[in-house]
Structure 1
Amino acid sequence: MHIAILDDDPAMREQAHQALADPWRQQNLSLKISTFSQVSEFTAAAMRDTFDLAILDWELPDGSGLNVLRWLRSYLDTPPPIIMLTVRTGEQDVVAALASGADDFVNKPFRPRELAARAMVAMRRGKNGGRERDAENNLTLGNIRFDTQRQCIYRDDHPVKLTYQEYRLAFLLFTHIGKPLARSYLYDYVWGRDERFSSRTLDVHIYRLRQKLGLTPDHGWRVNAIYGYGYRLQEALESEA
């Protein structure tokens, strides 16, 4: 998970960072939090990285959080869930934020556990589309089925032999269908933040998944390389088959 916090108040950034980091740390889950104090820093990062959630202050020294929200919705094909964090409490402001595409609205000073809970709900809601889970916690997408407990994959009900890294990469792609994923985001999830590999490492793993899982238009899938950014898995159109 990768969360971005845009707020010009250092104390508020630290409080938000702590509020979000604690629940993940207690559950031994991996979480990366990037903080920004200026709109220009945030937008530059959003153009090269993938965020699972963006938390935006309304009043910023070089712009408005509301305008950043609108920019995310217009610039990115699949923007992350967005929470507005602000001292504004007027009904008109709440309506303006929600109408512009905000997923939630949290007032300052915020309660840490409430912010963390709202963040989890927003991210969960953003990842629910197009997936089916059965009672045994299997994840099925088209002809691909994930057994998330055993960490194995079935293609057309036949088991596919994958390495640990290949499974994690496939899981990330399939749980973000249609969403562009930055190389840095893929590296962090599959290999961990402390490991660094050449660009070729990721390309080779993508190639292997194409072969093993049939991620080609004739099998209903398409993996696109996005120049200077990363990869995106999409369902192929019937005309492409």
Structure 2
Amino acid sequence: MRIAVLEDEPNQMEYLVHTLENQLALDDENVSCVTFERGEALRRALRRETFDLLVLDWNVPDLDGVELLHWLRQYQQSETPVIMLSSRSSQHDVANALGIGADDYIVKPLRPLELAARIRRLLQRNRPRPTKSLERYGNWIFDRPSSSVSVEQDGEKQHFELTEREFRLALALFRKLGQAVSRAYLMESMGHDGELSTRALDSQIYRLRAKLGLYAARGLRLQTVYGQGYRLESTDDNHHNEVPPAV
């Protein structure tokens, strides 16, 4: 899980990142935080990068958290979950942030367990609830322990054995179905610690597309998004747009 954190006070930033990366253990998923001290820097990143969650401090230089949130919802029309942090505790301020589009509002000083619990609850609304080992997206079932994927179509069921990195890549794309996903996000999802060349990622995508048959005939299309990354999208509006709960 990739989280953007906007906070201009170094000690608060360190505390936030430590809390998020150590308290937020969702299943076997790693948590990585990308930090920003200024709102304008985060806005530039949001034009090309993908995050699962934004944690925004209200009072930061040049573009504050509420202004950034307004831009995100109004002009980018992004549904990325947002938690607003602030020392402001008046009903007017809380209502203003929630009205603009914040998913939650937390008054400082932060309490680590509360923050982690609120984030888990928020993210569960945006993902199907997995069982211990399975996640389901339409007719596609992801089995985490075996790194395998199965799909049922026209009464026939197919099963695909994937490498661990192929499985992580596929799961990242299905979790963001219909959304453009940045290269950095996909590389982190696969567990790459260092840089992965554009050509190497393209090769991974090509092999995955061929192995799973991610073509229009199956109701899905995996496309390149210029200047950003890739998007897995549905070509069958009636069948794939809604994501049923995991089995």
Counterpart amino acid of residue 190 in structure 1: M
Task: Indicate conservation of the 8 Å contact 1:80/1:126, yes or no.
Answer: no
Please, what TM-score do these two structures have when normalized by structure 1?
A: 0.87
Q: Which residue of 2 aligns with 1:204?
A: 203
Q: Deviations over 1:34-79 (max 9, x none)?
A: 2211111111122222111111111222122111111112344543
Task: Indicate conservation of the 8 Å contact 1:83/1:102, yes or no.
Answer: yes
SS in structure 1 of the partner of residue 190 of structure 2: helix
Shift in Å at residue 99 of structure 1? 1.2
SS in structure 2 of the partner of residue 51 of structure 1: coil
The change in CA–CA distance for 1:36 and 1:136 in structure 2 (over 3 A counts) is: closer
Q: Tell me how far apart the structure 1 counterparts of residues 191 and 22 of structure 2 sit (CA, whole Å).
A: 23
Q: Which residue of 2 aligns with 1:99?
A: 99
Task: Please give the residue correspondences for 1:35-74 in structure 2 after superposition, counting only pairs within 5 Å.
Answer: 35-74=35-74
5-14 or 138-147, larger mean C-alpha shift: 138-147
Task: Indicate conservation of the 8 Å contact 2:54/2:83, yes or no.
Answer: yes
Q: Which residue of 2 aligns with 1:34?
A: 34
Q: Which residue of 2 aligns with 1:153?
A: 149
Q: Which residue of 2 aligns with 1:226?
A: 225
Q: Deviations over 1:73-129 (max 9, x none)?
A: 23445432100100111111111111111110000111122112222222232223x
Task: Indicate conservation of the 8 Å contact 1:127/1:176, yes or no.
Answer: no
Q: Tell me how far apart the structure 1 counterparts of residues 16 and 82 of structure 2 sit (CA, whole Å).
A: 14
Please, what TM-score do these two structures have when normalized by structure 2?
A: 0.85
Task: Please give the residue correspondences for 1:1-241 in structure 2 after superposition, counting only pairs within 5 Å.
Answer: 1-24=1-24, 29-128=29-128, 137-156=133-152, 157-193=157-193, 195-237=194-236
SS in structure 1 of the partner of residue 84 of structure 2: strand
Task: Could you tell me which runs of 5 or more consecutive residues in structure 2 were left unpaired when the two chains were aligned.
Answer: 239-247
Counterpart amino acid of residue 219 in structure 2: G
The change in CA–CA distance for 1:214 and 1:6 in structure 2 (over 3 A counts) is: same
Displacement over 6 Å in runs of 4+: 25-28
Question: RMSD in angstroms over aligned alpha carbons?
Answer: 2.3
Q: Tell me how far apart the structure 2 counterparts of residues 209 and 101 of structure 1 sit (CA, whole Å).
A: 36
Q: Deviations over 1:130-165 (max 9, x none)?
A: xx75x6743332332222232211133221232222
Q: Tell me how far apart the structure 2 counterparts of residues 51 and 26 of structure 1 sit (CA, whole Å).
A: 16
Counterpart amino acid of residue 72 in structure 1: L
Matched positions, count: 234
Task: Could you tell me which runs of 5 or more consecutive residues in structure 1 were left unpaired when the two chains were aligned.
Answer: none
Q: Tell me how far apart the structure 2 counterparts of residues 161 and 150 of structure 1 sit (CA, whole Å).
A: 8
Q: Deviations over 1:8-27 (max 9, x none)?
A: 22222122112212224798
The change in CA–CA distance for 1:57 and 1:191 in structure 2 (over 3 A counts) is: closer
183-192 or 18-27, larger mean C-alpha shift: 18-27
